[in-house]
Amino acid sequence: MKENAMKPAYIEARKNPDRPMTTISMRLPEDVIDDLKRIAPMLGMSGYQPLIRFYIGKGMRESLTELHGSQWEKLADILRQRGMDEAQVAEIIAEARSGATEHRIAA
């Protein structure tokens, strides 16, 4: 029987299209930008920047879904309950995940 796990509020909040946005600057290879500009209209996007947001959102949703309810999320919840800030929690989870990956590769 599957556990009826509710999605955390931060995942549900992503459904709001009126979330505040901030401007960032990032460097991408020119050929990637050219491909994005070519692909965007084929996917019904108004430009390459909405396509970038789409790809980022898609990847982030996949990661959040993978992490939701996982041992990593449970560990993160325990660390938060013990008073660790988000930066510390993220660092510990990243270090633990890296070690777990290295262990699987060595096995």
Task: Indicate whether 39 belongs to any domain.
Answer: yes
Q: Looking at the structure, do residues 76 and 107 belong to the same domain, yes or no?
A: yes
Token pair for residue 83? 């008073």
Token pair for residue 73? 């999320």
Instruction: Tell me the pLDDT tens digit for each residue of 33-63.
Output: 999 999 999 999 999 999 999 999 899 888 8
Task: Indicate whether 54 belongs to any domain.
Answer: yes
Instruction: Tell me the pLDDT tens digit for each residue of 58-101.
Output: 998 888 777 766 778 888 889 999 999 999 999 998 888 887 65
CA proximity to 74, closest of 100, 87, 93: 93
Q: Looking at the structure, do residues 94 and 105 belong to the same domain, yes or no?
A: yes
Task: Indicate whether 89 belongs to any domain.
Answer: yes
Cβ neighbours, 10 Å, residue 67? 17
- Please tell me the distance from the alpha carbon of residue 41 to that of residue 46, in angstroms, as a whole number: 6
Task: Indicate whether 36 belongs to any domain.
Answer: yes
- pTM: predicted TM-score of the whole model, two decimal places: 0.55
Instruction: Say if CB 72 and CB 96 are below 8 A apart.
Output: yes
